[in-house]
Chain A
């Protein structure tokens, strides 16, 4: 059984100025122990997708359609009491800002003991031992000392490791990590990625890593889904998507990374900006920034498998574009 099966998820925000379809028809499947990189820029709906799975969407936002099956069980419409049994226990989330997890006025041990005892009837003493072991497993030196600290006494990287240790406390089946290393330095990021990777492998945890950074996902994920303006525009194995990007947005994202460009020269950039969710264009939301767009793009293309033979990589490679093309073609087009 798959850990997670999402079908046609729709989360809309009902604001004073209109309805913003932050997530509009997102579908994907995540197998046990698999790592999915959910990639997109601000406003693409990647974080809201994560919040929707956790049942953490607050008004004016609301999940208005679709289905979220967690180990075969429908999460949408589940009573809050049942959701609380799962949250932090079988499904955990790590936020970009660890202070969203941590309470600034409680010592780390108090919060971790509480988190352990929320789902297990153990003594405070046993819970504390478990908390200390969880910190040690995250590669935190002198965990006993860190347990007695308040969050403000820890560095940003240390706080994030504590937050991840809390998420891992009950060895959940699914972790949703929302840009947890974006604000951190490369050496700290590497440390966290190394610990997370070991845990995922050791416990068969499924992981959704939400990020705007394709290069982090390249090293970590098995599969990639690229989101743009509330929809998945491309989806496939990490090799298929990064080596043979079919959607012009994916290709543009890869091209605008500094490391792939020549030193000192200009970067290949995607023109324009992400569209306003309250005023989405009719049809393909990327058409206004796309070099391949025609009148046909005024209708919404479906997320469909690319035709056989066009992609030598294995696995299903889906793209939402009338004019999909391999990376090589796209680069020639943008350079011309």
Chain B
């Protein structure tokens, strides 16, 4: 990923840049005696979830970055860090080139507003006691983006942009279907004029025909508002459809990243290859489904070396001990696999 970063600096400043970001959950600061007892195995070790391990991520203005991986790989955690909802245990987060920790209050607020999140569950992400107009209008009013008198018109405009009837403003979330609720969430995010949307499994809960409608809305909004997206999904079909660039994660680490055509036409990492082979395809009939060996290991005790080695068909002794580095293997294509060294 280093190559992209250097190129990027000569072109434009990345909208969001994460460097060496790690996130651990369940970590507590022990008293001296407790620490000593743990070190001498009198007390058990702390149960720490390693959600992210030294992740670099660069999102350029105007691009759609697809983030794909299975449950528990850390993709949602990464999305929350990118959206500023979570401060990582370790590592740097820059928004438009400026370090998040070094910003003053005004800059920090602007950075937070610039990146908005669209959640997976359209049922739990909307306050059931508020009218849609208040849900959408609250943030722009609080942040003084629009005056009280113009608020109703402003809300109507946001709803129309998200493909809803402005009359929706007077109704409550439960009066809408899943697809419409997701549009309400989109209108709420757009109401603060963001530069980027972080979509965390935003179409996963929707029916196929409604999913297509919402994906089309995202594609249209990108053109109309010049939006940048971090699009998080476990659905490779959706990722392939919307992304310019794709990042594949496995158990807290980026294993492969590159242009969408590179990843889908020439997957390099054995994990990416496995994932792509498992996508059910409409034109593959009466297929013999095959089981990949093993399960995703627990992030409480990730295996040493390459995290994928226990399930990998090509694992070598080296994979058990040495963490493969993410490095360029072709133009706009990085992969973290020791196999690339042996070639």
A270 close to B289 (CB less than 8 A): no
Name the one of A194, A253, A260 contacting B291, with C-beta atoms under 8 angstroms: A194
Given contacts A42-B178, A186-B278, A213-B280, contact A218 B285 (CB under 8 A): yes
Tell me the minimal C-beta distance from A291 to chain B in angstroms. Answer: 14
Residues of chain B from 235 to 285 with CB closer than 8 A to chain A in the complex: 235-238, 240-242, 244, 260-261, 264, 274-275, 278-285
Main secondary structure of the interface of A (DSSP, over half): helix
Residues of chain A from 246 to 295 with CB closer than 8 A to chain B in the complex: 252-254, 256-261, 263-270, 273-274
Residues of chain A from 206 to 240 with CB closer than 8 A to chain B in the complex: 212-216, 218-220, 222, 238-239
Given contacts A259-B237, A259-B281, A260-B282, contact A190 B209 (CB under 8 A): no
A191 close to B242 (CB less than 8 A): no
A264 close to B244 (CB less than 8 A): yes
B285 close to A269 (CB less than 8 A): no
Name the one of A42, A156, A189, A218 contacting B282, with C-beta atoms under 8 angstroms: A218
B216 close to A186 (CB less than 8 A): no
**Chain A residues near B71 (CB, 8 Å)?**
156, 185
CA distance A273 to B292 in the complex (A): 38
Whether, in the assembled complex, A195 has its beta carbon less than 8 Å from a beta carbon of chain B, the answer is: yes
**Chain B residues near A212 (CB, 8 Å)?**
207-208
Whether, in the assembled complex, B287 has its beta carbon less than 8 Å from a beta carbon of chain A, the answer is: yes
CA distance A263 to B238 in the complex (A): 9
**Chain B residues near A215 (CB, 8 Å)?**
237, 279-282
Q: In the complex, which range does the number of interface residues on chain A fall in?
A: 35 or more
CA distance A207 to B260 in the complex (A): 37
A267 close to B207 (CB less than 8 A): no
B213 close to A257 (CB less than 8 A): no
Whether, in the assembled complex, B102 has its beta carbon less than 8 Å from a beta carbon of chain A, the answer is: no
Whether, in the assembled complex, A300 has its beta carbon less than 8 Å from a beta carbon of chain B, the answer is: no
Tell me the minimal C-beta distance from A225 to chain B in angstroms. Answer: 16
Whether, in the assembled complex, A187 has its beta carbon less than 8 Å from a beta carbon of chain B, the answer is: yes
Residues of chain B from 190 to 210 with CB closer than 8 A to chain A in the complex: 207-210
**Chain B residues near A314 (CB, 8 Å)?**
none
CA distance A185 to B281 in the complex (A): 15
Given contacts A185-B70, A187-B278, contact A257 B285 (CB under 8 A): no
CA distance A263 to B265 in the complex (A): 12
Tell me the minimal C-beta distance from B163 to chain A in angstroms. Answer: 11
Name the one of B177, B236, B237, B242 contacting A273, with C-beta atoms under 8 angstroms: B177
**Chain B residues near A42 (CB, 8 Å)?**
178, 207
A239 close to B289 (CB less than 8 A): no
A264 close to B216 (CB less than 8 A): no
CA distance A259 to B285 in the complex (A): 15
A190 close to B234 (CB less than 8 A): no
Residues of chain B whose beta carbon lies under 8 Å from any beta carbon of chain A: 70-71, 177-180, 207-213, 215-216, 219-220, 234-238, 240-242, 244, 260-261, 264, 274-275, 278-292, 295-296
4 closest cross-chain pairs (CB), A and B: A256-B212, A194-B289, A41-B207, A258-B241
Contacts A139-B291, A220-B287 known; 19 new A-B pairs at CB < 8 A: A185-B71, A187-B278, A187-B296, A189-B280, A190-B292, A193-B289, A194-B288, A215-B280, A219-B287, A222-B286, A252-B209, A257-B237, A258-B240, A267-B241, A269-B209, A269-B212, A270-B212, A273-B210, A274-B207
